[in-house]
Amino acid sequence: MKVLIADDHWMIRASLKHAIERLQGSFEPVDAASFQEALDILRDNPDIDLMFIDLVMPGLSELEGLRTLRANYPDIPIAVISVHEDRDHVLRAISEGVIGYIPKSAEGAELLRALTLVLNGDVYFPRDILQGGRMRSALPMEPTKELKPKATALTAREDQVLELVGRGRSNIEIADELGLSPNTVRVHLRNMSLKLKVKERSELADYRPPSIPATRSAT
Q: Are residues 76 and 104 in the same domain?
A: yes
Tens-place pLDDT, residues 75-129: 889 999 988 888 888 888 888 888 899 988 888 888 899 999 888 888 888 877 7
52: in domain: yes
Q: Are residues 191 and 101 in the same domain?
A: no
pTM: predicted TM-score of the whole model, two decimal places: 0.64
Tens-place pLDDT, residues 123-164: 888 877 777 654 433 333 333 333 333 444 677 788 888 889
Mean pLDDT of 180-197: 76
Higher pLDDT, 128 or 12: 12
218: in domain: no
Last residue within a domain, chosen from 145, 166, 181? 145
Whole-number pLDDT of residue 153: 66
- Residues 6 or more apart whose CB falls under 8 angstroms from that of 50 comprise 1, 2, 3, 4, 76, 77, 78, 79, 118, 119
Q: Are residues 118 and 179 in the same domain?
A: no
Task: Give a three-class secondary structure readout of the chain.
Answer: CEEEEECCCHHHHHHHHHHHHHHCCCCEEEEECCHHHHHHHHHHCCCCCEEEEECCECCECHHHHHHHHHHHCCCCCEEEEECCCCHHHHHHHHHCCCCEEEECCCCHHHHHHHHHHHHCCCCECCHHHHCCCCCCCCCCCCCCHHHCCCCCCCCHHHHHHHHHHHCCCCHHHHHHHHCCCHHHHHHHHHHHHHHHCCCCHHHHHHCCCCCCCCCCCCC
- In the chain, what percentage of residues exceed pLDDT 70? 84
Tens-place pLDDT, residues 197-213: 777 788 888 877 654 44
Please provide the distance, in angstroms rounded to a whole number, between the alpha carbons at the two ends of the chain: 47
106: in domain: yes
Q: Are 91 and 147 in contact (CB under 8 A)?
A: yes
Q: Are residues 101 and 173 in the same domain?
A: no
Whole-number pLDDT of residue 139: 30
217: in domain: no
Q: Are 6 and 51 in contact (CB under 8 A)?
A: yes
Domain range for 179: 156-206
- The number of CA neighbours under 13 Å toward the Cβ of 50 is 30
